[in-house]
Chain A
Amino acid sequence: MKLDDFESVFRSSVKTPFHHAPPNIESALLVTDVDNAATGAFLGEIQPFLASGHADGIEWTTLTSEDFQEVSTVLDRVRRNPPSLVVCYRHLLGQGVRLPYSLGSTVDTLTQATDVPVLLLPRPDEVGITLPKKASQVMVVTDHLTGDDRLVNWAAHLCTDDGTLFLSHIEDKAILKKYLDACSKIPGIDFDLAKEKLPKKLLAMPSDYIASTSEILAKQGIHENVQALVKVGDPVKDYEQLVEELGVDLLIMNTKDHDQNAMHALAYALSVEIRNRPLLLL
């Protein structure tokens, strides 16, 4: 073995552990485009859903169609007095035609122009869609799970004690193929070795992190049932399928990209595709 081999062994042995730090949800702002009465009824459905986990005692305020007509009003309100959580749905203010493959400018602005987490619910007037009574099947979605403590902490906080926490990581097979193709064209790289080891290592990192999460949550007596979903695949298609198969009540994902204003690519794709479930956009 050479110096590089040993260095790789030791670098690989350094794991990123999960740090349990539950979010403190003191206040929530419900933003709707219906009147106060309808908003109150809607709030009545949301409160038990959120309280089914550990998020109880939240101080609620609302912003209804009677309070605002412009996105900037919502943004000013959130910036002036930031709540712990904003709850809303797509296409607020009936923004033109409700294009199915968009979130509407209010949600776009809230997720990207503020740091406040947004709980995106199915529209209350959407036919055939009802809000789950409790969050017992919660899934964390990310293309970089390792070290994403914030996502996992929110998920653990909102999931019911007897529920299941699905910590997932789907490595995009198209990207992996691109890298392996590049490896096959570099003379110094053992392609067979790269083909065997690269996917394994890419999946080992989130698997180790999930194992650490599961161990720490179990130690704290919070969640016994943490399930790992780690594989190489087609993220958007696979997540859509998994969400349906597992009957996920709440999907949690990261929307912030460090180097751009637009929403994180996978999060945006899933947000527009999965319209029948609550999504927590962090």
Chain B
Amino acid sequence: MSPEGITYIFAAILVAMVFTLAIEEKIHAKKSMIVGIYAVISLLLAAAFGILPEPHAELLLLEPHGDLSPDQVVHMPVYIPGVEWEVIAIILGSGLFIDVVSRSGIFSWTAILLTKRSAGDPLRLLIYYSAITVIFSAVLNNVAAMMIVGSLTMVSLEKLKRKDLLLGFLLTEGLLTNIGGLLTLISSVPNIILGNMAEIGYVDFFVKAAPYTLVATALTIFMAVRIFGIRSLETEEEKAAAAELVATFDERDGIESKIFFNFSWALLGIFILVIATTSVLPWIGGEHGLGMGYVAVSFALIALIRYKHEVDKNYAAVDWDLLAFFTFLFVVIDTMKYSGVLTLIGDGIAKLLSLPDALAGASLLWSSAIASSVTDNVPLAAVMGNILKGMENTPDFQWWATIFGTNLGGNFTPIGSASTVVAVAIIHRAKLPLTFGSFVKTAAPFAIAQLALATAYVLLFFR
């Protein structure tokens, strides 16, 4: 078969995989299963067409510091080096670390404390919950942030007898998780993938993304107040009654050990500090350093000391579906690279990027957003990252346009990001009516405003 024919066959496989991922809920299949099957098919076809690099068995070389000798060659199947193990280590380590630290009660304590500080006033509650959604999304991950703030929102509005505001609150929080996900290099998986490929440091990422996150959060809250009609309490009686109701929350309830609670705060602070300074740390940073994945896994193990007798329970809490999904996805993308699909897409994007800078940046941002609104933003980030990395001298603004687009596109539809899926799950759990169409109708003004702001921000400050 001609090389073009092979490329088109693999392109069809990629499109089919993306489509299958988009309908995962309908076919009741987990992401890892879907992508795993496509990985198996892709590898087999790639081997059959003879497009895999030769020899497969001697692909990875250990410590390529000096001259190679036969005993330095590691024999490994072709699908092993195709996986971005640093990304897998970061996701596994930080996921496990955050899960263990969550059990100390520090996040629920913070969330409940802010609920009490709001004195039950809906507007103040919206502002506080929005702020913690963004911060938790940045520090934890979008899904965990949505689960914490979303479940507290459900309980607190129920307590305040304001279930009429629940839909507005949950939608706002869902939309803000993707804003918060932009704040740091490890806040979302697209950031990890694209940031690593673009070699953007943690601090550099934060400094560049924080101003946008701040303004976009304020804009989202402002729009939510207008669209969902969230108002402050007016009379003294209403204020007193609401304050009395939220006063019944006890922020200490979820804290099983005061020592572990304090330890977790300290450990979280050190984790953020170490992650932020990874690139300059001896033995950790640099080209041959142990990297961020090592830091994340190490901190997970330190936190696990508390549960050393039952770590199996914590391992069971790891999202293995997500990890398997990433692993298989990298394998699929690797075969796409060998089959020429990435070059094909890259050629198309190169035409887009040959437009004047402003138009190219805006097109890249909006097309990434639209693509990630209907499918998972992780494959998109992985494909785009590989393409941009393969190009010569990719300018900064193109990386940032892709980062903003892949993160914010999730706000258009209920399936656009994992955190909006969680938001919708909580909405349905509360038996509130919300269809795919009504989500899009409500969320579109927010998503368009956030993307317009992002476009202006990228073009003004990164070009």
Binding-face segment, A5-13, A56-64, A110-118, A164-172: A5-13
**In the assembled complex, B254 has its CB within 8 A of some CB on chain A:** yes
**In the assembled complex, A23 has its CB within 8 A of some CB on chain B:** no
A11 to B158, CA, bound (A): 10
**In the assembled complex, B250 has its CB within 8 A of some CB on chain A:** yes
Query: 8 Å CB contacts to B: which residues of A1-38?
Result: 1-3, 6-7, 9-17
| A12 B151 Cβ-Cβ under 8 A | no
| B254 A15 Cβ-Cβ under 8 A | no
Question: Which residues of chain A come closer than 8 Å to B148, judged between CB atoms?
Answer: 6
Minimal beta-carbon separation of B280 from chain A (angstroms)? 33
Give the bracket for the number of chain B residues in contact with chain A: 20 to 34
| A208 B250 Cβ-Cβ under 8 A | yes
Minimal beta-carbon separation of B216 from chain A (angstroms)? 25
Name the residue of chain B whose CB is nearest to the CB of A8.
Answer: B151
**In the assembled complex, B112 has its CB within 8 A of some CB on chain A:** yes
| A13 B102 Cβ-Cβ under 8 A | no
Question: Which residues of chain B come closer than 8 Å to A7, judged between CB atoms?
Answer: 151, 154-155
| A13 B147 Cβ-Cβ under 8 A | no
| B248 A14 Cβ-Cβ under 8 A | yes
Which residue of B111, B147, B249, B317 contacts A3 across the interface (Cβ within 8 Å)? B147
Which residue of A3, A11, A17 contacts B425 across the interface (Cβ within 8 Å)? A3
Minimal beta-carbon separation of A44 from chain B (angstroms)? 44
Given contacts A1-B317, A6-B148, A14 and B425 within 8 Å (CB-CB):
no
A13 to B108, CA, bound (A): 9
Question: Which residues of chain A come closer than 8 Å to B250, judged between CB atoms?
Answer: 13-15, 208
Tell me whether chain A's interface is mostly helix, strand or loop, or mixed.
helix
**In the assembled complex, B121 has its CB within 8 A of some CB on chain A:** no
Minimal beta-carbon separation of B140 from chain A (angstroms)? 11
Question: Which residues of chain A come closer than 8 Å to B155, judged between CB atoms?
Answer: 7, 10-11, 14
Question: Which residues of chain A come closer than 8 Å to B247, judged between CB atoms?
Answer: 17
Name the residue of chain A whose CB is nearest to the CB of B152.
Answer: A10
Given contacts A2-B147, A14-B248, A17-B248, A9 and B317 within 8 Å (CB-CB):
no
- What are 27 inter-chain pairs, A to B, with CB distance below 8 A? A1-B99, A1-B147, A1-B317, A2-B317, A3-B147, A3-B151, A3-B426, A3-B429, A6-B108, A6-B151, A6-B152, A7-B154, A10-B108, A10-B111, A10-B112, A10-B151, A10-B155, A11-B155, A12-B253, A12-B254, A13-B253, A13-B254, A14-B248, A14-B250, A15-B250, A17-B247, A17-B248
Interface residues of B (CB under 8 A from A): 99, 102-103, 105, 108, 111-112, 144, 147-148, 150-152, 154-156, 159, 247-251, 253-254, 317, 422, 425-426, 429
Interface residues of A (CB under 8 A from B): 1-3, 6-7, 9-17, 208
- Known: A12-B253, A14-B249; 4 extra A-B contacts, CB below 8 A, are A1-B102, A6-B147, A13-B251, A16-B248
